[in-house]
Structure 1
Amino acid sequence: MKRINIVGIFPGRPINPEAQKCIRESQVIFSGKRNRELIPETNAQLLGIGTLKEFSVELANAFTEGKIITVIASGDPIFFGIGKYITEHYDVSEISIVPEVSSLQVALSRIGMDANNIRTISLHGRPVKGLAQKIRNNVKIALFTDSNNTPSNIAEYMKIFGLKDYIIYIFERLGYSYEKIGKYALDEVIGRKFDALNIMVLKKNGNNNTQLPDDNAFLRKNDNITKREIREISISELELNNGDTLWDIGSGSGSVAIYASLMDVDGKVYAIEKEKVLCGYIEENMIKFSTDINIINGKAPEALESLPDPDAIFIGGIIRQHNKNF
């Protein structure tokens, strides 16, 4: 056996022989409370999985002591699971992974939906900021929720950003005898309580429309806007990769920042604008175009001090710089 065995299990499904062997031959087993109820009796030392910090210390101690370890995970351990942390911190030659079906696979099978082109987003311990443009740019979205980002709160957020034309499926306690699957309109989810163990799947009604807005669609002061042709050329020259951080200094109507956020949906876009009135226009425009960017009301360079380092900068429709040139 490998030194660290990461075993996936799923309620309502038998534990496969390879996983049983790992459990049987381990000296230390890590498991969350819910999964502990599903594993067979063992003589191994059973340890809980608390916070990631606590788990990392206890795992390191057991590994240093030369123990054979099994970590019990839900479903597929490396699909938004604990397996990702372990494979990033231990040599893969010391690790064995025994996957089960993921909760998302089970959820989609329940409603007969294929997984092709589905965008999967985990909101476990993460801010909801920036979610709007990710939803806007996709027809099918799976969301892993938590106690703060509940289905009700997410639906309310979607409504604010005009993301109303979606069917929402909510899967509660998948695999258990009392699992529940519901199909809802957006307003039916707002204010409704669901079991803490849930997954949301969003399906857009009709085709996805990700057309970029024209100049006349933006709310602005006078003609304070970077024209569409300049926006498109400038953003192309910025050479943004998905996930990059952009500063749009002197954002005006926010047209460049909003355009960039629709192309760099996993990035962080900051619209920096000294005029409070214009910040109001930026906020109205980002809601209008279902984009959730960061608006900073302040003057450069003072307003930039607390921001994360940028990969690219756009200044007032004139100057473009890359971080590598700083």
Structure 2
Amino acid sequence: MGGLRITVVGIGADGHLPPAARGLVEDAEVLLGGERHLALVPAVAGQVRAAWPRPLSSLATFLGEYDGRRIVALASGDPLVSGIGSTLVRLLGPDAVTVVPAVSSVALARARMGWSAEESTLVSLVGRDVAALRRELVAGARLLVLSSDEHTPATVAALLSGAGFGASTIEVLGDLGGPEESRGTYPCPVPRLHVLAIEVAGDGFASWAPGLPDEAFEHDGQAHQARRPRQRPLPARAPPRPACSGTSARVPARSASSGCAPTRAPPPWRWRRTPSGRSASRATPGRSAYRGCGW
């Protein structure tokens, strides 16, 4: 795919395309996108149209069929917000992908809620374990959650309740920018396409910094035997970083909780390898094991 280049155009839920973006779509020799997006754009004589392959793991082979042709792909809103744009950049490289964004569902959700970008946090659960949300749970936080499907709100509500934040308010913002746009406070009808706006409330254990009490961790009373924070499943124990397997954090540790807590620090925390290149198996003075500590 040495000569393959692709332009990714964001499209609104109502099918709106600005004039410049519409010109790109009409001039394309090949138009790619989801079936829903392709149906929103009027037909163009002689233009080849194709929906994304399933599974998406065959994307490289699929794109190779159109190598050397003028390709435009459609995506929802901002293609780089949990969209196909990110996938294409990883596959082809940034120089081969041009992105023309529209208003994203995140921007629309903030507008509907009256939340600024500075006072709200975005969490994507698209194709991810819901436990990723635990990192952001603190009373007073405002979270915008990109849902995987119509079952996500129930899963999120259960997680909040189990973590001590059952008093949180969950707004379901459905089909943002489209003719069937809706809003409701969960529990309520949930459309497949939606964003959750959560105002976190409750007294669950939560902190970005060291200082959680020993009771927040499960242990057998021995300083070197801390296993995991109470009620936190494995996928949520440590900061969700892309390449931290086989690493450990070097921190002074007088007790298991004081050694584990710093591993939960937010970016720009950086993991350091042990001299052997492997993670320490348990927390010891000066060495806190990544695998068994923190969130």
TM-score range, shorter chain: 0.7 to 0.9
Between the aligned partners of 1:257 and 1:207, the Cα distance in structure 2 is 24
When residues 257 and 242 of structure 1 are mapped into structure 2, their CA distance, relative to the original with a 3 A threshold, is: farther
| TM-score normalised by L of structure 1 | 0.66
3-state SS of paired residue (1:76):
coil
3-state SS of paired residue (1:129):
helix
Give the gaps of 5 or more residues in structure 2. 226-237, 250-254, 291-295
RMSD: 3.8
1:281 — aligned with what?
A: none
Counterparts of residues 45-194 of structure 1 (less than 5 Å): 45-50=48-53, 51-63=55-67, 66-136=68-138, 139-147=141-149, 150-184=152-186, 189=187, 193-194=189-190
Pairwise CA distance, 1:162: 1.4
Between the aligned partners of 2:199 and 2:149, the Cα distance in structure 1 is 23
Pairwise CA distance, 1:83: 0.8
Between the aligned partners of 1:219 and 1:91, the Cα distance in structure 2 is 44
Picking from 198, 201, 223, the partner of 1:202 is 198
Deviations 1:282-320 (A, max 9, x none): xxxxxxxxxxxxxxxxxxxxxxxxxxx987536343362
3-state SS of paired residue (1:115):
coil
| TM-score normalised by L of structure 2 | 0.72
When residues 218 and 321 of structure 1 are mapped into structure 2, their CA distance, relative to the original with a 3 A threshold, is: closer
2:282 — aligned with what?
A: 315
3-state SS of paired residue (2:198):
strand
Aligned partners of 1:4 and 1:70 also within 8 Å: yes
Between the aligned partners of 2:124 and 2:259, the Cα distance in structure 1 is 24
Aligned partners of 1:226 and 1:256 also within 8 Å: no
3-state SS of paired residue (1:131):
helix
Between the aligned partners of 1:224 and 1:247, the Cα distance in structure 2 is 20
More strand by share: 1
More helix by share: 1
Deviations 1:88-145 (A, max 9, x none): 2224444322110001111111122212143222212222234313334981222111
Between the aligned partners of 1:19 and 1:154, the Cα distance in structure 2 is 36
3-state SS of paired residue (1:108):
helix
Give the gaps of 5 or more residues in structure 1. 228-239, 270-308
When residues 311 and 241 of structure 1 are mapped into structure 2, their CA distance, relative to the original with a 3 A threshold, is: farther
Aligned partners of 1:133 and 1:261 also within 8 Å: no
Q: Select between 314-323 and 40-49 the one with higher mean Cα deviation.
A: 314-323
